[in-house]
Amino acid sequence: MTVLEPFGARLRRAMDERGPLCVGIDPHASLLTAWGLNDDIVGLERFSRTVVEALAGRVAVLKPQSAFFERFGSRGIAVLEKSVEEARAAGALVVMDAKRGDIGSTMAAYAETFLRKDSPLFSDALTVSPYLGYGSLKPAVDLARESGAGLFVLALTSNPEGGEVQHAVRPDAAGRNVGATMLAHLAEENAGTTPMGSFGAVVGATLGDLSSYDLDINGPLLAPGIGAQGATPADLPGTFGTAVRNVVPNVSRGVLRHGPDLVALREVAEGYAEEIRAAVAAA
Ligand SMILES: O=c1ccn([C@@H]2O[C@H](COP(=O)(O)O)[C@@H](O)[C@H]2O)c(=O)[nH]1
């Protein structure tokens, strides 16, 4: 099997060279229509190809949202495979937003799908749900290490409903809530790794001051919620404090609604990238 340099090292370099912005590839039906495309496989293919052509050579990370491809069945998955391949060939790291999670034996199959280097859907990193217990993710952690891939574990999600689960306090000695427990697991995974570990957390940019959490996990923090969900680049230092330097801010609809014009997509993404650079530099 081909072995890549660890994801954390590749991501750190991409963030240094291109800035930390992650743009989503989220082909919502409403966006296909707004772009003058049909809500069908041809529209999906054009949409995805346009985003990759506009941005894969410029931003550090592209994040396809698997759900929008899966709804077209096997032909949608074929478009997803091609998009991942083309985005990676153009120099972007690809985070597959599939939010997989299951008992360990099934998790192993998800890991084979997205994290085995020679798999058709191999991605640089995968979003995973730890809500069957963090230990259920072990097959994905192990295969990611073997392949040089990464994971982003849902810790504190950007949606208002997430707190029902993630803020629940565990009756253990530390008295941490569930989200904080996930961050602690990730800090253990990444301990001693330079320049940064490959096991990241998803922490919403919408959540306001997170100073009560230890965000210092020596790994990346994928931060969705900028743009359509209301957060702005200027919010990042107040939300993440000193951990802001490890934040990978995600914008999907906030960029995509400016397509299909390639120049417009690039200009909006560059505008977000510039605002993020300024906010992080001032932190
Ligand atoms: O906590 C989370 C985890 C994942 N997401 C995903 O990120 C994008 C956000 O899209 P926008 O259009 O910028 O709102 C989308 O794919 C979500 O599924 C998230 O929003 N929050």
The CATH code of the domain that includes 269 is 3.20.20.70
The residue whose CA is least distant from atom 10 of ligand 1 is 252
Residue 186 lies in a domain: no
The Cα–Cα gap between 125 and 17 comes to: 19
Residue 2 lies in a domain: no
**Average pLDDT, integer, range 64-87:** 98
- Measured from the CB, is residue 158 less than 6 Å from ligand 1? yes
CA 92 from chain centre, in angstroms, equals 13
pTM beyond 0.90: yes
Residue 39 lies in a domain: yes
Residue 161 lies in a domain: yes
Ligand 1 pocket mutation, candidates 21, 26, 253, criterion most atoms within 8 A of CB: 26
- Measured from the CB, is residue 67 less than 6 Å from ligand 1? no
Domain count, the chain: 1
The residue whose CA is least distant from atom 6 of ligand 1 is 224
**Average pLDDT, integer, range 227-233:** 98
C-alpha atoms less than 13 angstroms from C-alpha of 40 in its C-beta half-sphere: 2
The whole-number pLDDT of residue 121 equals: 98
Residue 1 lies in a domain: no
CA of 251 relative to ligand 1 center, distance in Å = 8
Residue 181 lies in a domain: no
Residue 124 lies in a domain: yes
Question: Which residues are identified as catalytic?
Answer: 99
Q: Give the Å distances, CA to CA, from 274 to 21, 25, 269, 281.
A: 9, 20, 9, 10
**Average pLDDT, integer, range 126-138:** 98
The whole-number pLDDT of residue 175 equals: 87
Domain ranges, residue 122: 7-175+191-282
98, 132, 90, 135: which is closest to 115 by C-alpha?
98
Residue 144 lies in a domain: yes
CA of 99 relative to ligand 1 center, distance in Å = 11
- Measured from the CB, is residue 166 less than 6 Å from ligand 1? no
**Average pLDDT, integer, range 105-122:** 97
The whole-number pLDDT of residue 172 equals: 74
CA dihedral (251, 128, 244, 3) in degrees, to 10, reads -100
